[in-house]
């Protein structure tokens, strides 16, 4: 056997020994949940949710090229949820999201320099109900029984309606929208127990796939549709939610 063959055989043998040693050695990177203890035991129930309400009223308001804005509107979002721990630190449950948006513009004018345009009697109303099947995984921070990280995986189906009335012309014009949506989202977060049962949670919608379909009827005569597919992998500050939950 020549020197070249001996060198190749030695190299293969050394790589084989390294691979066997790496396979036999067990690395502890801190993700072994078996030693974390029971942060939430099997059989525990969770109930709670989030809520958000905002109201606005503009009286002769001016914004950029829009002048004399007189409008009212509100935004309501309610998201109750419950969950059952099917095993230690893992829960399966249901979340219901209801949102309702209303915007009514009495009048406004757009000043484009030499040209101007008047807008009045515009009314928009939309409401949607979304059902989400949720799977929650909890990871306690160290040996703490009060603080933990969690991840909520959501499989959602939503239905809704939208109406638009435009009275800006000689005759009122109206559109009716029928909404449907499907989504798969991943929402990580942090939680902290305020006492024995109540917990405050902070979560963010970071990864998701959402598919929506809109059927539109305009003036009870014309029909149209719109399909939208979005995939996101980013931290949206506007999607950060704070919730209050009760564990028992």
Average pLDDT over residues 130-140: 94
* Cα separation, 217 vs 164, whole angstroms: 11
* Between 199 and 116, residue with greater pLDDT: 199
Average pLDDT over residues 215-220: 86
pLDDT of residue 132: 96
Among residues of the chain, what percentage have pLDDT more than 90? 42
Whether residue 175 contacts residue 217, with contact meaning beta carbons closer than 8 Å, is answered with yes
Assess whether pLDDT exceeds 50 at residue 60: yes
Helix ranges (DSSP H) in the chain: 3-24
Q: Could you state, in order of their start, the residue ranges of all structural domains in the chain?
A: 38-247
* Between 30 and 193, residue with greater pLDDT: 193
Among residues of the chain, what percentage have pLDDT more than 70? 82
In whole numbers, what is the pLDDT of the chain averaged over residues? 83
End-to-end Cα, the chain, rounded Å: 74
The tens digit of pLDDT for each residue in 235-247 reads 666 667 788 999 9
Whether residue 202 contacts residue 237, with contact meaning beta carbons closer than 8 Å, is answered with no
Assess whether pLDDT exceeds 90 at residue 95: yes
* Between 231 and 19, residue with greater pLDDT: 231
Regarding the domain delimited by 38-247, which CATH topology (the fold level of the hierarchy) does it fall under?
A: Porin (2.40.160)
pLDDT of residue 15: 54
Assess whether pLDDT exceeds 80 at residue 112: no
Q: Which of 101-110, 158-167, 191-200, 235-244 has the lowest mean pLDDT?
A: 235-244
Whether residue 211 contacts residue 169, with contact meaning beta carbons closer than 8 Å, is answered with no
């Amino acid at each position: 056997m020549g020197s070249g063959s001996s060198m190749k055989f030695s190299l293969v043998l050394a790589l084989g020994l390294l691979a066997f040693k790496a396979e036999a050695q067990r690395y502890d990177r801190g993700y072994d949940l078996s030693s974390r203890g029971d942060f939430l035991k099997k059989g525990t129930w969770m109930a709670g949710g989030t809520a958000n309400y905002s109201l606005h009223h503009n009286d002769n308001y001016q914004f950029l090229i829009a002048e004399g804005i007189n409008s009212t509107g509100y935004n309501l979002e309610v998201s109750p949820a419950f969950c059952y721990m099917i095993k230690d630190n893992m829960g399966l449950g249901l979340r219901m999201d209801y949102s309702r948006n209303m915007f009514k513009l009495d009048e406004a004018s757009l000043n484009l320099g030499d040209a101007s345009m008047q807008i009045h009697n515009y009314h928009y109303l939309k409401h949607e109900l979304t059902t989400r099947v949720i799977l929650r995984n909890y990871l306690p921070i160290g040996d703490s029984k009060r603080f933990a990280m969690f991840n909520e995986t959501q499989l959602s189906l939503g239905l809704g309606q939208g109406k638009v009335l435009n009275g800006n012309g000689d005759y009122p014009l109206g559109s009716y929208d029928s909404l449907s949506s499907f989504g798969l989202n991943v929402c990580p977060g942090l939680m902290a127990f305020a006492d024995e049962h109540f917990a405050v949670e902070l979560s963010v919608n970071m990864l998701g796939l959402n598919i929506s379909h809109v059927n539109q009827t305009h003036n009870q005569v014309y029909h149209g549709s719109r399909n939208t597919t979005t995939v996101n992998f980013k931290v949206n500050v506007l999607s950060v939610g704070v919730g209050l939950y009760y564990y028992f």
